[in-house]
Amino acid sequence: MTPTHNRVLVLNGPNLGRLGKRQPEIYGSTTHAELAEKCVEWGRELGLEVEVRQTNHEGAMLDWLNGAADEGNPVVLNAAAWTHYSYAIFDACAQLVAPLVEVHISDPHQRPEEFRHTSVVTPYAVEVVAGHGIDGYRMALEVIARS
């Protein structure tokens, strides 16, 4: 299945709606609204139609991933904390038919908490972009554009 009109979903998980307020020393000062604007702009430059969504509710994320699977849309996914333990996210990512790029603002492997060193998303990602701050989303969209 091919992507619908070069449509890409950028999906952000729990607490990412608090970007700019939450631990700026780790996640930077860019707000989620500013990130969404940048992703749309970067996508436009790459010939992609980008839609950015954020949720703190796992069921909503699962519905979005299932919809992306059904529509054949590529996904840039920052599953946040769900990255490390959600087998429901693991199963939803397994269904994707278009490229999936995993993105993290910080580098989970460089974080002191051991639980952050495991990802249930990585087995299904064509690439992982981590530790590049907000710019990692641009890099992830570039991967999608090349795919």
Architecture (CATH level 2) of domain 4-146: 3-Layer(aba) Sandwich (3.40)
User: Does residue 2 surpass a pLDDT of 60?
Assistant: no
pLDDT, one tens digit per residue, over 58-68 is 999 999 999 99
Closest CA to 37 of 114, 115, 138: 138
Predicted pLDDT at 5: 54
Predicted pLDDT at 18: 92
User: Does residue 114 surpass a pLDDT of 70?
Assistant: yes
Pairwise CA distance, residues 94 & 128, whole Å = 16
**Residue 138 assigned as binding residue:** no
Contact between 95 and 88 under an 8 Å Cβ cutoff? The reply is: no
Catalytic residues: 27, 104
Sort 57 into a burial class: Cβ within 10 Å, 0-12 / 13-18 / 19+: exposed
pTM, entire model: 0.91
pLDDT, one tens digit per residue, over 46-60 is 999 999 999 999 999
**Residue 105 assigned as binding residue:** yes
**Residue 106 assigned as binding residue:** yes
Domain boundaries, the chain: 4-146
User: Does residue 38 surpass a pLDDT of 80?
Assistant: yes
Confidence of residue 92 (pLDDT cuts 50, 70, 90): very high
